[in-house]
């Protein structure tokens, strides 16, 4: 079975073919052009057809298509309600792509929800789990009894905009202050690390010596090398994450929490303080929830698009 999958991210867009076992057969990438939404969706359709042709599967061979979008999608998996990073709003994404591709069996969904679907369908996730993406921003998805929870306005899982800092709240891209995303995202870590490099000559010298980039990955490299000011930045972020997760795990009793996104590769640096915050704040019976990085890597959202198709086509 050939399933078309499209993952439109904040900076890049991937289209490819996936089979029913979640094996990625081919993928192609372009830059996400945010200035003209319809033009970009047309390019996505062309990219998918190009990938299919290159693999030797004509459009008629596709069973259907799933799409991951960087924003909120309505309950019918059709309309992109809002993609804040791209500035897109109320775009009939599914109908547009159905027309462009000539394929009716096509559905769209928020990318983080689709990551959770990929974990559920292709990677043996339990029936109750949370998925947290920590990259430039922070997003979340909730799977309860084997189903992705959408919430009344498709906003379930919006962990990134819970308030976690009240004494020195930083501005968040959402317009509010003190959000988890403003204090514990990859962008937040990068900002703090850049400041550390500017203010601490020892940090700057060590970063140069180790070729560490001035971002969250560079901060992780220094933290792993035992440089305590870099380690402290991860401790702080981990504490905020645990603080935000505590009421959620107490309420939902997930079996596992998966972390995805770039910062997930540094999960080991975030875990000690995350664990202690959970221990201090969550219900005792839920605080020991298993926490692990996803094994799906950067393809999680693309594979999740295929999982969405399989779920909807049932």
Residue 14 to residue 250: CA distance in whole angstroms: 36
Q: Quick one: which of 76, 176, 202, 253 contacts Zn ion (CB under 5 A)?
A: 176
Choose the binding region for Zn ion from 2-10, 45-53, 168-176, 210-218 (rule: CB under 5 A). 168-176
Choose the binding region for Zn ion from 2-10, 139-147, 164-172, 241-249 (rule: CB under 5 A). 164-172
Q: Give the pair of three-digit tokens for residue 199.
A: 């203010």
Q: Is 179 in the site for Zn ion (CB under 5 A)?
A: yes
**Polymer length of the chain:** 314
Strand order in the sheet with 88-91: 72-73, 80-83, 88-91
Choose the binding region for Zn ion from 140-148, 159-167, 203-211, 212-220 (rule: CB under 5 A). 159-167
| Rounded least distance, CB 245 to Zn ion, Å | 16
Non-local (6+) Cβ contacts of 212 within 8 A are 206, 218, 219, 221, 222
| Rounded least distance, CB 138 to Zn ion, Å | 9
| Rounded least distance, CB 181 to Zn ion, Å | 5
Non-local (6+) Cβ contacts of 199 within 8 A are none
Helix (H) or strand (E) holding 33: none
- When the beta carbons of 76 and 153 are compared against Zn ion, the nearer one is 153
Non-local (6+) Cβ contacts of 175 within 8 A are none
Question: Phi and psi (nearest 5°) for 144?
Answer: -125, 125
Contact in structure between 174 and 182 (CB atoms under 8 Å):
no
| Rounded least distance, CB 80 to Zn ion, Å | 20
Choose the binding region for Zn ion from 28-36, 157-165, 203-211, 268-276 (rule: CB under 5 A). 157-165
Q: Quick one: which of 43, 117, 121, 161 contacts Zn ion (CB under 5 A)?
A: 161
Q: Is 192 in the site for Zn ion (CB under 5 A)?
A: no
Q: Is 82 in the site for Zn ion (CB under 5 A)?
A: no
Q: Is 174 in the site for Zn ion (CB under 5 A)?
A: yes
- When the beta carbons of 65 and 187 are compared against Zn ion, the nearer one is 187
Sign of CA dihedral 26, 32, 38, 39: negative
Q: Provide the binding-site residues for Zn ion, judged by CB under 5 A.
A: 161, 172, 174, 176, 179
């Amino acid at each position: 079975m050939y399933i078309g999958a499209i993952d439109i991210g904040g900076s890049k867009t991937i289209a490819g073919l996936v089979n029913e076992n979640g094996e990625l057969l081919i993928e192609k990438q372009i830059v996400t052009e945010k200035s003209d939404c319809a033009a970009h969706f047309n390019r996505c359709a062309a990219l998918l057809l190009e990938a299919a042709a290159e693999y030797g599967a004509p459009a008629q061979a596709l069973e259907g298509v799933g799409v991951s979008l960087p924003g909120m999608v309505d309950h019918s998996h059709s309309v992109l309600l809002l993609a804040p990073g791209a500035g897109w709003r109320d775009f009939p994404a599914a109908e547009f792509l159905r027309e462009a591709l000539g394929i009716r069996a096509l559905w769209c969904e928020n990318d983080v929800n689709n990551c959770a679907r990929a974990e559920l369908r292709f990677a043996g996730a339990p029936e109750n789990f949370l998925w947290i993406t920590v990259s430039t921003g922070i997003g979340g998805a909730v799977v309860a009894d084997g189903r992705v929870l959408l919430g009344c306005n498709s906003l379930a899982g919006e962990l990134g905009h819970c308030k976690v800092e009240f004494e020195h709240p930083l501005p968040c891209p959402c317009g509010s202050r003190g959000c988890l995303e403003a204090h514990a995202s990859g962008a937040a870590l990068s900002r703090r690390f850049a400041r550390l490099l500017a203010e601490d000559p020892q940090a700057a010298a060590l970063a140069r010596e180790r070729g560490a980039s001035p971002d969250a990955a560079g901060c992780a490299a220094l933290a792993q090398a035992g440089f305590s000011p870099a380690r402290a930045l991860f401790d702080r972020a981990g504490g905020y994450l645990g603080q935000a997760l505590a009421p959620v795990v107490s309420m939902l009793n997930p079996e596992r929490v998966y972390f995805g996104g770039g910062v997930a590769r540094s999960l080991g640096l975030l875990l000690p303080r995350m664990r202690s915050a959970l221990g201090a704040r969550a219900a005792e019976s839920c605080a020991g929830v298993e926490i692990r990085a996803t094994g799906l890597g950067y393809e999680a959202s693309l594979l999740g698009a295929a999982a969405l198709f399989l779920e909807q086509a049932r």
